[in-house]
């Protein structure tokens, strides 16, 4: 309430004037809450919400100078950024010691791995677990912040190509990633028989391609794809595709890679 000067200079009083306050939005006018595939957690939702919608994201594999000098492959690390620029994630492989280092470099095609997906504040939002199934098939399980399985990416047999199924925790197929034999760097994403996106490896430059593991992926998603679980599994699938198809082990890892394929 705003009160005017009770006198206008002539001695006459003025009536009180009020400014109407805007009414709070009615429940029906509020933006509906997006259905999430994990228990409510404000920190997790804020860290991942940039990947719940939009046209996709960019995945940049990180590398250290020691890898270039020694040829020893260290733990994988990725930087993920949404195309809108409103969200970033850091995917880091858990390095559990010398045994893991040996498996990564000498028998990379057979190893298992665990990776943490962290938000900008460093908190763990998701956990990825690479499981080895009867070769040449691979499986990556995705867990939420509370340890519940969010879904999994499972490699399936395909004639003259590669196929991955993005499944929920029960095994129901949500979407598929397919790479025909004539496409070396591209996987097509489809859902219920309709194309809804693609995952493509980008040329990172001659020096990076020859001397580092720093692969770059662009993941394009149809804006009409509203399923949050599928979108989060696609982030994990980009990591799996890199580790299986584009990881170039050295110092004996080359042999393990060949044997595993």
- Contact 143/133 with Cβ under 8 angstroms? no
What is the rounded (10 degree) CA torsion for 221, 223, 226, 231?
Answer: 20
- Contact 208/201 with Cβ under 8 angstroms? no
Matching residue, tokens 């979407």:
175
Whole-number Å distance between alpha carbons of 162 and 171? 19
**Residue-by-residue pLDDT tens, the chain, 261 positions:** 445 454 445 544 444 445 556 555 444 343 455 677 877 788 788 889 889 989 999 999 876 554 554 556 667 889 999 998 778 999 998 876 665 666 656 655 566 789 999 998 889 999 999 886 655 688 999 999 889 999 999 999 888 889 999 999 999 999 999 998 888 889 999 999 999 999 998 876 665 555 556 788 999 999 999 899 999 999 999 999 988 887 765 443 344 434 444
Per-residue pLDDT at 110: 61
- Contact 216/79 with Cβ under 8 angstroms? no
The domain limits of the chain are 42-131+193-260
pTM: 0.75
Residues 6+ apart with CB under 8 A from 168: 37, 150, 151, 174, 229
Per-residue pLDDT at 43: 78
- Contact 118/235 with Cβ under 8 angstroms? no
């Amino acid at each position: 309430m705003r009160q005017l000067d009770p006198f206008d200079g002539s001695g006459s009083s003025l009536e009180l004037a009020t400014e109407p306050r805007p009414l709070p939005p009615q429940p029906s006018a509020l933006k509906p809450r997006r259905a999430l595939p994990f228990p409510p957690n404000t920190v997790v939702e804020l860290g991942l919400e940039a990947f719940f919608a939009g046209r996709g994201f960019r995945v940049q594999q990180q590398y250290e100078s020691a890898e270039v000098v020694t040829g020893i492959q260290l733990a994988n690390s990725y930087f993920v950024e949404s195309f809108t620029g409103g969200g970033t994630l850091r995917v880091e492989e858990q390095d559990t010691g010398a045994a893991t280092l040996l498996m990564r470099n000498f028998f990379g095609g057979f190893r298992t791995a665990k990776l943490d997906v962290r938000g900008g504040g460093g908190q763990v939002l998701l956990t990825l677990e690479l499981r080895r199934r009867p070769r040449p098939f691979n499986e990556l399980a995705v867990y939420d912040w509370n340890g519940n399985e969010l879904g999994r990416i499972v490699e399936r047999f395909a004639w003259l190509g590669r196929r991955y199924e993005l499944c929920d925790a029960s095994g129901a197929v949500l979407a598929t990633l397919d790479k025909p034999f004539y496409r070396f760097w591209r996987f097509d994403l489809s859902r219920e028989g309709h194309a809804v996106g693609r995952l493509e490896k980008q040329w990172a430059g001659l020096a990076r391609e020859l001397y580092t593991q720093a692969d770059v992926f662009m993941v394009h998603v149809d804006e009409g794809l509203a399923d949050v679980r599928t979108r989060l599994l696609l982030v994990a699938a980009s990591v799996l595709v890199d580790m299986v198809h584009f990881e170039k082990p050295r110092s004996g890892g080359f042999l393990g890679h060949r044997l595993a394929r």
